[in-house]
Amino acid sequence: MTKHTEVLIIGGGISGSTAAHFLRRPWQLLEREPVLGGLSTQYRSNDFWFDYGGHYFHFLHALPIQSHLTTSAPFKRYVRRSKVRIFDRLIPFPLQSHLESLPATWRHRIVRELATPGAAPGNSLGSGLRATFGSTLYQIFFYPFLSKYYDTDPDALASGMEKGSIPQPRPDTATLKRDKKPQGYNPEFFYPVGGLRLFWKKYEAPLMSSVRLSEPAISVDLTRRRVETRSNTYTFSRLINTIPLPQFLSLLNGFPANPNPPGALIHASTRVTNMVLAVRRRRFHWVYLPETIHPYYRMGYYPGAGACKIYLEQSVPLNTRMGEKESDASHLLQQLGVIHDREEILYVSQRTIPISYVLFNQSWFHTVPEILQRLKEKGVYSIGRYGSWNYSSMAEDALTARNTALAINREMS
C-alpha cells in the first residue's frame, strides 16, 4: 500500500520520538523494533528490566529540552559520585583534580608536567591529551582507558572527538589545591523514577497513533521521495533519519555514487554485562577502569530503588559472539568492594550494541559534514548521535530533534 505523509521519521529512539513531539505537520514514524526508545529504553531478561549500559540524562549542554523531557514523567536528580580505579585505589573523578590521592612519585611527575607548557597539540586525540595533561597522566590513565573505551589507539583518532567530555586542568590544578567545584559535562544527572521504561510509557503515549512498530525501512529513494518497508511504500516531502548514517546510506537509491568511502565512517561496539546483586555495598554511581588486566572500561550501578542492578561495559570487535572475549568479572567486582564473593551475583544478562561510539579519524571532517549537507539538499535531516555520526548525549539529541522539527514546521508553513 502507498501512503503519503508530509514528514517521515525513520527510527523511534529519543531523536525520532522527540522530533515527532514537536512536528506540527502530518508525520509518520517507522520503527524496526516492537517498542520505541532505541538505546535509551530498557530490555527485559527473565524478570528484570535492564538499561543498555549507564544511561543518565545530563542537561548542562541541552537546557532548553530539560523541562520538555522531565515533565513527561517524574525524574530524580543525582549529584555525581564517580571514581577512577588506579594504583589499587578508588580516586574521585576527574583524576586531574585529585592528584593528591596518587602515589607521590607519580604525583610529582604529573605536577611538574602540568606546570610546564607542553608540546604543540598535534591533530590526534592522543597528542592533544599529552600536550594538555603531560605524558605521565596520559600514560597512566588516558592511554589505557581510551584504548579500552574505543578499542583503538588514541593516536589513530582525531583531536576534538572528545567534544568537551574530558575536564580540562584548571589554573591551580598543579598546585594540588583540593578543587571542589563540579567538573565535566555531568556533575549532576537525572534519571526517571521507576526506570527508563516507565519514562517511555509516558513519553510515547501521545505519539502512538502515527507510529508503525516492527516496520523497518528497507530502501530509500531520494529522487522519488519514497521509502519502502516490507508491507508499505511511504512518500514524503521531508525525511528525518535517525538510524546510523552508514546503514542509512546503504538503503539509498538516487544518491551520488560512493557517499561512504571505505574506512571513513568507523565506530566502536560495546558489550554490556548487566547483573543483579544480592546487596548494594558501595555508594558511588560509576567507576572508570583504566587497568589493562581486565577488558572492562566502566562499571556502574543503575539508579533507582528495587533490586541492586549493575553494569559493566567493554568494547568488543564487531561480530564478537557471546562467550568470546569473556572475562570473569567477579574478581574485579571484589576488588572494587562491590561484592564480597561471587555468590552475591544473582543474575547476569548481556547485550552487544553493534554501533556504540562514533570514532573520528581525519577523514571524518571532510566526509561527514559533506554527506549531511548533500542529504539536506535532498530534503533529508539526518540527526541524532548515529544519524549525524557524531558524539552526543540523549539530551543533546533530543534538543537537536526539537530544533529540526521547528525548522521543518517553519519551512512547510
Ligand X SMILES: Cc1cc2nc3c(=O)[nH]c(=O)nc-3n(C[C@H](O)[C@H](O)[C@H](O)COP(=O)(O)OP(=O)(O)OC[C@H]3O[C@@H](n4cnc5c(N)ncnc54)[C@H](O)[C@@H]3O)c2cc1C
C-alpha cell at 356: 556504540
Q: Which bin fits 164, alpha (ψ -120 to 50), beta or left (φ > 0)?
A: left
- Please, which residue, 54 or 167, has the CB nearer to ligand X? 54
Query: For binding to ligand X (CB under 6 A), which residues are involved?
Result: 10-16, 30-33, 38-40, 53-57, 216-217, 242-243, 270, 313, 353, 356, 384-387, 392-395, 397
Q: Which residues pair with 42 in a beta bridge?
A: 51
Q: Across the chain, how many H-helices and E-strands are there?
A: 12, 21
The DSSP call for residue 169 is: P
If the CB atoms of residues 132 and 315 are measured against ligand X, the closer one turns out to be 315
Q: What is the DSSP string of 222-266?
A: TTTTEEE-SS-EEE-SEEEE-S-HHHHHHHEESS-S-SS-TTSSE
CB of 3 to ligand X, least distance (A): 15
Query: What are the phi and psi torsion angles at 374 (to 5°)?
Result: -65, -35
Half-sphere exposure of 384 (CA within 13 A, CB side): 27
Helix H or strand E segment including 92: strand 89-92
Least distance in Å: CB of 86 to ligand X? 21
Please report which helix (H) or strand (E) contains residue 5, including its range.
Answer: none
Q: In the bound complex, what is the minimum distance in angstroms from residue 181's beta carbon to ligand X?
A: 22
32 or 98: whose CB is closer to ligand X? 32
Nearer to ligand X by Cβ, of 279 and 348: the residue is: 348
In the complex with ligand X, the residue whose CB is nearer, 240 or 339, is 240
Q: Minimum distance between the CB of residue 30 and ligand X, rounded to whole angstroms?
A: 5
CB closer to ligand X, 20 vs 174? 20
User: Between 14-22 and 394-411, two packed helices, what is the crossing angle to 10 degrees?
Assistant: 40
User: Are residues 380 and 236 in contact, defined by beta-carbon separation less than 8 angstroms?
Assistant: no
Q: Whole-number minimum distance, CB 37 to ligand X, in Å?
A: 6
Alpha helices (H) along 151-244 = 196-204
- Please say which residue, 33 or 326, places its beta carbon nearer to ligand X: 33
Nearest approach, Cβ of residue 112 and ligand X (Å): 35
Helix (H, G, I), strand (E, B) or coil at 185: coil
Query: CB 123 → ligand X: shortest distance, Å?
Result: 26
